[in-house]
Amino acid sequence: MTSQVPQIFDTQRRRALQQRIASGPHLFALQFAAEELCDRATGINRHFAHGLIIAPKILHKDFHERLKEQCQTLSYIDTGTDDFDPEVWTFAAQHFDLLIICGVLHCVNDLPGSLVQIRDRLQPDGVFLAALAGGDGLSALRQSFIAAESEITGGTGAHFHPSLMLPDLAALMQRAGFALPVVDIESLSARYQNLRDILRDMQAMGEANCLQQRHRRPLRRDVLQQAEQLYRASTPQADDRLTVRYDILFATGWAPHDSQPKALRPGSAQHRLADALGTTEISIPDAD
């Protein structure tokens, strides 16, 4: 019997949010993520035969301009299309040697399974690059909503997605079988007049709540006002603006290939680190 993957996210809601993404100043985080992914791809000294870019449609042109010279063929998928499901990959195995995903993966119910399918779609020694929301940048904002709603209504619901942390992403990349996996985090700060503007920006970026157990009714005004007061108190500023930190996780991994560097087995070193550093080696006795 196979275990059932918990359906945390509403896939139809996720698609609808992605379809609403439009141009504007709110795109700064997505544009930063796309630019960073392009920098990492162009930093690989290699020409790719078959590349696939999965990103909001409004970013496709940016990817094309940066990567068209490095890839013989480039295919694009809009994260908001009804035909795209990041949990069910219908592409042939070992088809792409470059696969880039900007966003979406932090709203996938079966992320471990998705990563395995992505690795299987890469040719041997093909590379996977991804950017997704995560980290604890919104933790203070999340806590402010929880405290405000608990105080006013006596209960609380989920207003924000659970955050994927960097160590968790690293473990998932290894578990999926990627070779030479690397993960890191970049943070962006933005300043707003009020909490309503923050929520408007997040929705415009496609990052509004798409949890299955989300509130289906509009946010109460008194809860919003109290949450803003609590957030202002927890993040004091020199002026009256609110500062929000957006954390973006980046992942790089390769489909395994015999030509890739392999870790040496323990004890196989031919030279001592102490000699290289010009210092004296001090032995530590074994614990009893």
DSSP SS3 for 179:
strand
Tens of pLDDT along the chain (288 residues) come to 345 777 888 888 888 888 888 888 889 999 999 999 999 999 999 999 999 999 999 999 999 999 999 999 999 999 989 888 888 898 999 999 999 999 999 989 999 999 999 999 999 999 999 999 999 999 999 999 889 989 998 877 777 777 899 999 999 999 999 999 999 999 999 999 999 999 999 888 888 777 877 776 778 899 999 999 999 998 877 788 999 999 999 999 999 988 887 765 666 667 766 677 777 666 666 655
> Facing residues of 96 across strands?
122
At 238, list the tokens: 């020199």
DSSP 135: S
Residues 212 and 10: beta-carbon distance below 8 Å: yes
CA distances from 28 to 139, 205, 248, 254 (A): 20, 9, 12, 28
pTM of the predicted structure, to 2 decimals: 0.86
At 54, list the tokens: 């999965």
